[in-house]
Chains A and B, each alone.
Chain A
Amino acid sequence: MTELKVIVCMKVVPKPEEIRVDPETRRIERSQVRSEINPPDMNALEMALKLKDLHQARVILLSMGPPLFEKYLRVGLAMGADEAFLLSDQHFAGADTLATTYTLAKGIEKLGDPDLIICGEESSDGATGQVPPGIAEWLDQSQITLVTDLEVDLERQVVRGRREVRGGHEVLEVPTPAVVSVKTASNEPRFMDYEIKEDAFKGANVTVWTREDIEADEDYIGTPGSPTIVSGFEQAAVRERKREFLTGNRDEVVRRLVDLVQDLM
């Protein structure tokens, strides 16, 4: 049986609950914020590792970002991934979806002919969900997004994914190679394996590739490759509320609330 080659795309994001905004400058304060692996990407890795449990598979982690991402990739290695690659170059900075998906696609091309590329549904900081279809388009591959279950048929070279849609689901089948995005919280990511943890953090190699390594076109990466610009930040308008406290014993409060609500309906 041939070995399945699975690439898992991973991003490191600031913990959303720790993000603060400087009220004066309206800038996002990232310096004090701790980071984590984008939680949906943990579901993507778990799906890949489940395939590895079932088939002969090689699971490769791929990320794009600053060198500090390296230690997070080691967490993925300790969970059972086989190799980790980080696309890191100052020229990649400022990338929007178009430039990000181009850069990741170039990294995937360099890794060579995977059967599957698995991504999280979306990133918890950008929350666009547009990266998986974007990668699929650059690579001219099929895609199944929002997948909760995935089956691989190695003989027929197809994957079947159960995909969540509003009020139900559908099952789609596409030929491999294909890009799959995993529905957030659709599985329970495993813990790090203590047998391999030490090697993952001390011995294992995280390969860092620059723009030259993946032969990316300068016009397509970072700021030059990004059509989208952030023209400003604003504080979201908050509607003024009455903020009237109902006091008294519970029965009185209930009565007054019921009267109020009836007037509104």
Chain B
Amino acid sequence: MVASLYSVDDEQKTIWVFLDQVDGELERVSLEILSKGRQLADEAGWSLNGLLLGHQISDQVQRAIAYGADEIWIAEHPLLEHFTVDAYTHVVEKALVKGRPSVFLCGATPNGRDLAGRLAVRLRTGLNADCTDLRLDPQSGLLTSEVTGFGGGVIALLESPHHRPQMSTVRPGVFPLGDEDPNRVGLTHVMEIEIVEGMIPTKLIERVVGEGVDLTQTPVLVCGGRGIEGKFDMLQELADLMHGDVGATRPPVDEGHIERERQVGQTGVVCRPKIAFACGISGAFHFVVGIQDADFVVAINSDPNAPIFEYADICIVDDALQFIPALIEDIQKERTTSND
């Protein structure tokens, strides 16, 4: 059997979280993982630590502590300013082998997946990718990760009993953010790192990042499926009226009607809005998981037997292409009247 670089016998009873930062700001998913990690650590009586890499990022340390971290290991270097898988894998591997945490978690973001994929091989350990829930057995210290992706609404439970660290990447948006406690006190350790340009074959030539789409935070989500025949402008109008945002099922994304980052569901984004509208959506399970954490679901479909109505609080049997414009008109009329 393949053996990990450090074994169960050598582990420290700690959870480490990779604190993903982009342009000097912690990614929300890292704070979500800290919030969940705090809960797991408290139940098991373990400590929760964060690993922060970057350049001039020490102002982010207190933020991580405020969300639940006990100790932060920080590595600052100009060559760590932007993520490169070469430099980050090198530094994180050194830190993990030294700290030997039982559990290591990171966000399933593009960079998080790049890092975790290489790191797991380098450490010869298991990796559970894009997890939607985590459990930690306080007695055995065994981490169980939930993953979807097997179809039919089935989740698989994955464990890595004999290899350390127990590694998982966590899907953004699945864990609610805990309360930020600015007065929380934690420890900071500065890591000594040796890193030179020659160790980083990856060259960043260009980087253009604007306001990204982030459906995980929207209070109102207006989703469209096949039944809206690509008319996402109409859904955008409704979303704008309600200060919300637009999402989609897979078919309109595949057909190029809307960007892939707006795909909601098992292979897309999991959202937790106050209200989700499902317009012209049949209700395949792999979509429904994306809105199951919505406080309230409104479904509009012309087929009274559409499965989506099983997953909705308010069911409206009507053609979304007719109904949505009527809804928009009514809201606009009301706004005009109340403004008079």
Residues of chain A at the chain B interface (Cβ within 8 Å): 14, 16-17, 19-21, 26, 28, 96-99, 101-102, 124-134, 136-138, 142-146, 160, 163-175, 184-185, 219-220, 224-239, 241-247, 250-251, 253-255, 257-258, 260-261, 264-265
Q: How far is the CA of A96 from the CA of B267 in the complex (A)?
A: 20
Q: B153–A244 contact, CB under 8 A?
A: no
Complex interface: chain A residues within 8 A of B160 (CB)? 227-229
Q: B149–A246 contact, CB under 8 A?
A: no
Complex interface: chain B residues within 8 A of A241 (CB)? 297, 310-313
Give min CB distance, B101 to chain A, whole Å. 16
> Which residue of B117, B210, B285, B330 contacts A133 across the interface (Cβ within 8 Å)?
B117
Tell me the B267-313 residues at the A interface (CB within 8 Å). 267, 274-275, 284-286, 288-289, 292-293, 295-298, 309-313
Q: How far is the CA of A228 from the CA of B160 in the complex (A)?
A: 5
Known A170-B206, A173-B205, A233-B155; contact A258-B2, beta-carbon cutoff 8 A: no
Give min CB distance, B200 to chain A, whole Å. 10
Q: B118–A133 contact, CB under 8 A?
A: yes
Q: B113–A145 contact, CB under 8 A?
A: yes
> Which residue of B85, B118, B129, B213 contacts A128 across the interface (Cβ within 8 Å)?
B129
Complex interface: chain A residues within 8 A of B115 (CB)? 133
Task: Provide the main secondary structure of the chain A interface.
Answer: mixed
Q: B129–A164 contact, CB under 8 A?
A: no
The answer, yes or no, to whether B234 is at the interface (CB within 8 Å) is: no
The answer, yes or no, to whether B46 is at the interface (CB within 8 Å) is: no
Q: Count contacts between A and B, CB distance < 8 Å.
A: 265
> Which residue of B120, B315, B326 contacts A98 across the interface (Cβ within 8 Å)?
B120
Q: How far is the CA of A265 from the CA of B4 in the complex (A)?
A: 51
Known A227-B2, A244-B314; contact A172-B202, beta-carbon cutoff 8 A: yes
Q: B314–A163 contact, CB under 8 A?
A: no
User: What are 15 A-B residue pairs whose CB atoms fall within 8 Å in the complex?
Assistant: A98-B121, A130-B117, A133-B114, A136-B118, A137-B121, A145-B113, A166-B261, A170-B208, A171-B207, A172-B202, A173-B202, A236-B154, A245-B309, A257-B327, A265-B274
Tell me the B139-167 residues at the A interface (CB within 8 Å). 144, 146, 148-163
Q: A19–B150 contact, CB under 8 A?
A: yes
Q: B121–A236 contact, CB under 8 A?
A: no
The answer, yes or no, to whether B322 is at the interface (CB within 8 Å) is: yes
Complex interface: chain B residues within 8 A of A255 (CB)? 330
Task: Provide the main secondary structure of the chain B interface.
Answer: mixed
Q: B161–A229 contact, CB under 8 A?
A: yes
Complex interface: chain A residues within 8 A of B289 (CB)? 236
Complex interface: chain B residues within 8 A of A237 (CB)? 292
Q: How far is the CA of A235 from the CA of B156 in the complex (A)?
A: 9
Tell me the B1-20 residues at the A interface (CB within 8 Å). 1-2, 4
The answer, yes or no, to whether B78 is at the interface (CB within 8 Å) is: no
Known A127-B130, A227-B4; contact A166-B110, beta-carbon cutoff 8 A: yes
Q: How far is the CA of A168 from the CA of B204 in the complex (A)?
A: 14
> Which residue of B208, B253, B326 contacts A169 across the interface (Cβ within 8 Å)?
B208
Give min CB distance, A99 to chain B, whole Å. 8
The answer, yes or no, to whether B194 is at the interface (CB within 8 Å) is: no
Q: How far is the CA of A226 from the CA of B267 in the complex (A)?
A: 24
